[in-house]
Structure 1
Amino acid sequence: MTVTETDSELPVIELVHPMPGFPDLHKFALVQLDDAGRLSSLTSLEQPDLRFLVAPPAPFFPDYEPEVDDEVASELGIVEVEDVLLLVVLNAGRSLAETTANLAAPVLVNTVTRRAAQVILDRPGLPVAAPLIA
């Protein structure tokens, strides 16, 4: 579901709930930033200078398997787990070693409907700033 910047049509993601702090922004383009598909951005279509760096967690946190409740799955129209793209929001540091990921609030994207939400997980102890490199 990610694309390269040379593709003419970027996948438009609609957030069913806006990201915290950005109540009026609902439409984002998912843009792949590297050839390996490990880094993408969610770029606002309503405020193009705003983007969130995101990445699939598996390459960095292989044991990370968040659980979401049925209400979230229903809101996003998720029927099959295979239709979910799981992303974590990154806080970019000066280097990869200083970059962190928010594991407490991943972004779930339904790859069929392209509806998405940042979900605040009900699991105490999940870090909001987990180092990408141990």
Structure 2
Amino acid sequence: MGMLSRLRDKLRRQDDPALSIDDPALVVVVEAFDIAEADSAALARSPRWRADELAVLRHHVRIPAEQVERARELLTPDGWVLVAGDISHISRVQKLDALHCAQERSRMASLAQRLGGEALGWDALQKAPEPAR
């Protein structure tokens, strides 16, 4: 990803101190684990996803333990947080749209493959809506 793309994405991602990747109020609003399904279709089929709100985009990947630190080095400059495990999670807060989901899915698949791992899919989390009063 070039410097201009990083700057554009950083400006597009509105850092919201009210939303963090480990917020306990987050719920999964869309999942995309079928490689044959377009990201736009995954978003469109989710009645819980709110396009006008920030979300946590979370990729599920398998990365060999000896490659986790290398993955972190590659991801951290773009605001991604990697939580390692049998299935690692790579997350960041951002506005979701089909184009960026597709770009990031491709990027994570490439990264995982380069490091000897596998990208499994992604999900998105948003805060549960406030109950109507």
| Normalised-by-shorter TM-score class | under 0.3
Point out the structure with the larger helix share.
Answer: 2
More RCO (CA 8 Å, sep 6+): 2
Q: TM-score, normalised by structure 2?
A: 0.26
* TM-score, structure 1 normalization: 0.26
Higher normalized strand content (fraction of residues)? 1
